[in-house]
Amino acid sequence: MSDELFDSVDALLSGVRTGLPVPAERQRLRLAAGLTVTQIAVALRVDSALVRGWEDGTAVPGPDITPAYARLLDGLAARFPAPEQPAAAPAPQAAPQASVAPAPVLDQNPDGSLAMFEAQLCVQCGQPSVYRAQGRPMHLGGFCRPAAAPVPEAAAPAAPTVQAEQSAPAPAPAAAPVPAAAPPRPVSPAPGAGGEQRPGGSRTPARTAAARAAASAAPAAAKWWPMVALDVAEDGTWALDIPGFPAPAGMKLGDWFAWLGTGLPLRIERAHPSGRGGDGTVCLTTGALKQLGLPAVLPGTEKALASLQAKLAKAAATVGMEVSEHVGPTFHAFRRAGSAGGQKTSVRVVVAPWLGQGDARQQATSALALPLATASEGAVDGATFARRFRAFTTDLGVAPGATTATTGMALLEAVRPRVEWVKDPATGEWSSHLREGALPSGDLCVPPAAGARHPLTRRLLAAGEAVCEEEDYKWWARELTAEESVRPWAVAVDVCASYLSVTDSLRLPAGPLELVTNPDWNGGKTAGLWWCDFTTTAVDELLPHPATFHGRQPTGPGWYATPTVAYMATAYGFDPATITQAYLSTHTVPLLKEWTGHVRAGYKRAYADLGLTDGQSPTEFLAAYAVHKDTGTDPARNDALVLAGLYKNIYKGGIGKWSASARHLDDQAWLEKVATSWSYRPEIRFHIIAAARIAAHRRLRKTLQLTGRAPFAVNVDSYLYAADQPSPLEFLPVKDDGTPVPGALRLGIAPGSHKHEASIPLEAALEVMGRREHPSRLVHDYTTDGTAIDQDQAAAEGDGAETDEEGGN
């Protein structure tokens, strides 16, 4: 019995007498050295929450970690000894507790850095302080500057308080120091957070201990970073591409997993208060792979992959971590709640040298990452990937997904969450419900707009019934007029980001479509599909028909989306009262407003880095566009060119995703997994494409009315005009002052504006049309000045996305 009692006492003593300084002194030493909780946690291979507990007295270091922690504190104490306290004045009336009061524990941000506020008078010394302890103004522990005459806090008169504020300006820590090097593009900072600096910076010996501690405890604003690249420096130490980012404590694989589990400042912040954030990412370079003992090339056999996965899992288990079941170019390292080693955490890992390798599944999950990681010289580079990844997430607010289409949908879910969580004040239980205007799940398809693969569509077509055919213009062309046929050039112009020019305010069908007989038109305020007969409605003969994708007159009634019907009614006098039935949405909302704002902002920022901005004159724009792809070795321009292409493909793929055919799935699996998803809504895609096609027709019609010029061929959003010069300037309408006419064709990079694609000899275009082929196939065979391009060069430089259907998946 006595042995059990002795064991209990020994256990109690081991928890009380650690041989370490008191918690407040531990914090003082860390702050004096300019270290953060995360950096200490990384060095000791523990969770950041434990270090915070050691400093606020709520936790005690275990016997296995105490010696290392004591060594750290002893080393800091030798460098930053506690300052001598001034002798107390022999005033018997002084409160005895004032001289023995423990150093306060100052309020901190989640990352361990001190929270800073507007300077107010310290409750201990009466001098200004930017720090708080339990919400009260207070200085760093032990560094209060004694006032000339100690005055009890409650008895301090108003006038001396004002005088103290005026005579003692706020100390230097109130302003964040400027970092030595401009950091990479960050995500938005956590509210009120302080940031990190590299410890061990230059210090002037003559500075007082108080000033030194105050300066080191006031780093720049901390930020959550979406990604960091881990590399090895020339001296063999770890190198990270974010200044001040904590590095692994050791060079082994176990040290790396310990580092991943210490609560690194890696995260993608949520883009909406009701949304969710995302895991941060660590990118491994070739040097990091070699240092960690991992293969430079992803193993190509199941046996080798299994061996690699076992090696990673074993190293992760030493610190309570796990890795994804399938290891490839991207995988996750995580710790479950309640596991040994620290708190729950999850980090995404991207191995840059492995991108583009592996089986079809592994390549598919990293398909979008490969172009982000490919440098200008064609090599896959981890630092390039991390830099572009941070720019991508800063622009859009989400991480790039496996494909542009899935990324587009992930962005919509991030900026306009479908689900909102609510806490019951009575029970404390949380429950979720769809937010107002959210898209519901389930197969909501109606026969006219179910998509080509849906059984409803197949049955309608088999019965000879009409389905909705709202698509981009396809291969429309007409005979040239006598005036056009004598002009020497066919000049091609292309719409920039045509969908983004309409999705901002476009009202879309969020609710299910319901069949209505003799519907009320109400000015087109309700999104839906309308049964209309446009066969007798006269339109402009020199332009493609506004309501059909083939540009020819319809041969009978059909189903049309609201934007098409509204334009036919306002521009050509169609009578909506003749509509006999419609499928109308129960809820109409501007669904893509926030989504458009994010994509358009990223798109315009990337092109601005390439010299293409709003407000350029036509000649300035043409000159800048002609050289915008000549990036040379400039990393900023190379990054911008890659990102601009990705942003375009994201909005195109995102629109196409509304009617995904998912060819890799069989029919039954498609019906169960795709057709019942909230993101499968073909009628939404029909509305977007109809709006973009109508907006294009409206610009063509206004240009025709102002100049008498019309395109003789249209494909998707590429238009060919007959011209006297190899330039579009002659058929673009301008006002008397030379500025573009609103609503007509105009040059520019903004969504809905146009760029010069090519100048084709008209004879070549007519020859192609004589073979019953469309002349737009020549746009990649000629430059903008009309010079023929070598076919091999044209294949290498051609951007198929410019002439492909934007709504395609």
| Alpha-carbon gap, residue 250 to 293, rounded angstroms | 13
CA angle 327, 333, 335 (to 5 degrees): 140
How much is the mean pLDDT over the chain?
82
pLDDT digits (tens, 9 = 90+) for 626-638: 999 999 889 999 9
* DSSP string across 538-567: ---TTS--TT-TT-SPPSS-EEEEHHHHHH
For the entire predicted model, the pTM comes to 0.75
Query: Who's near 278: CB < 8 A, 6+ residues apart?
Result: 226, 267, 268, 398, 399
Do 466 and 583 touch, CB atoms closer than 8 A?
Answer: no
Query: Who's near 190: CB < 8 A, 6+ residues apart?
Result: 109, 110, 111, 222, 223, 224, 269
For residue 41, the model assigns a pLDDT of: 80
- Give me the percent of the chain exceeding a pLDDT of 70: 79
HSE (side-chain half, CA atoms, 13 Å) at 439:
26
pLDDT digits (tens, 9 = 90+) for 83-133: 765 554 444 444 444 333 444 566 665 545 556 666 676 666 666 665 677
| Alpha-carbon gap, residue 345 to 321, rounded angstroms | 9
Average pLDDT score over residue span 681-708: 97
pLDDT tier at 21, thresholds 50, 70, 90:
confident
**DSSP assigned state of 147:** P
| Alpha-carbon gap, residue 757 to 237, rounded angstroms | 50
**Residue in the structure block whose two tokens are 């997430």:** 393
Higher model confidence: residue 44 or residue 688?
688
For residue 93, the model assigns a pLDDT of: 45
HSE (side-chain half, CA atoms, 13 Å) at 97:
2
Residue 369 tokens, joined: 């990452």
For residue 332, the model assigns a pLDDT of: 95
Q: Does residue 199 have a pLDDT over 60?
A: no
**Which of 17-26, 214-223, 271-280, 421-430 has the weakest average pLDDT?**
214-223
CA dihedral 461, 465, 467, 472 (to 10 degrees): 90
| Alpha-carbon gap, residue 118 to 137, rounded angstroms | 10
Average pLDDT score over residue span 366-378: 89
**3-class SS of residue 181:** coil
Average pLDDT score over residue span 291-303: 93
Query: Who's near 764: CB < 8 A, 6+ residues apart?
Result: 490, 778, 782
Do 488 and 468 touch, CB atoms closer than 8 A?
Answer: no
Do 181 and 201 touch, CB atoms closer than 8 A?
Answer: no
**Which of 123-137, 329-343, 527-541, 619-633 has the weakest average pLDDT?**
123-137
Q: Does residue 789 have a pLDDT over 60?
A: yes
